[in-house]
């Protein structure tokens, strides 16, 4: 990992989704999910680490209804900027999801391989329902179709960072979604 003393914003080509847009859309997602799960007693959110943790925190507050949270570490990227295709569970759930209404919270869906793998894995654990919510969706990169129930934003095929998304474990703390300058990762 390369650490730097220069400001991270110097590595940004442009802001794709600003803080106000993120906040507005997450409030809308929270309202939609709250309505859709109005009759469900047991809503269980699974945060896909590491990238979705900031999105989860804001969405959790926007839900304004009881729910539980657990975390799952899944990787298909390694240290690169494109999915390797080989999916690994790095950290599994601590809770049993059998009979529960499960909502997977993801930061970005690119090839679809990671979510397809997670969906098969979690469905085998027999939840009452299993849905997917992603902050960002890159439909142009899809290799494996997965049914996504809630999408924050469809985005172009750009390498994005911020709001939990990283490159080389940096940029997660930026309060917006930005396109990284290509010379940083090439």
Model pTM score = 0.90
Sole residue written with tokens 């047991």: 42
Q: Which domains are delineated in the chain?
A: 19-158 (3.40.50.2020)
- Does the bond joining 50 to the residue before it have cis omega, within 30 degrees of 0? yes
Cβ-based burial of 182 (10 A; exposed 0-12, middle 13-18, buried ≥19): exposed
pLDDT tens-digit readout, 69-111: 999 998 775 555 555 567 888 999 999 999 999 999 999 999 9
Crossing angle of helices 19-36/53-63, nearest 10°?
Answer: 50
Catalytic residues: 110
């Amino acid at each position: 990992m390369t650490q730097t003393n220069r400001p991270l914003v110097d590595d940004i080509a442009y802001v794709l989704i600003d803080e106000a847009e993120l906040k507005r859309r997450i409030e809308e997602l929270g309202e939609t999910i709250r309505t859709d799960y109005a009759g469900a007693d047991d809503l269980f959110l699974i945060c896909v680490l590491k990238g979705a943790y900031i999105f989860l925190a804001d969405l959790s507050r926007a839900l304004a209804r009881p729910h539980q949270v657990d975390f799952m570490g899944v990787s298909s990227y390694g240290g690169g900027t494109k999915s390797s295709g080989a999916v690994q569970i790095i950290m599994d759930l601590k809770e049993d999801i059998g009979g529960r209404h499960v909502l997977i919270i993801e930061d970005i869906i690119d090839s679809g391989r990671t979510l397809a793998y997670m969906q098969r894995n979690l469905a085998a654990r027999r939840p009452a329902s299993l849905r997917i919510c992603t902050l960002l969706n890159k439909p142009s990169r899809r290799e494996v179709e997965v049914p996504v129930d809630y999408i924050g934003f469809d985005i172009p095929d750009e390498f994005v960072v911020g709001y939990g998304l990283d490159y080389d474990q940096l940029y997660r703390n930026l309060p917006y979604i930005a396109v990284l300058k290509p010379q940083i990762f090439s």
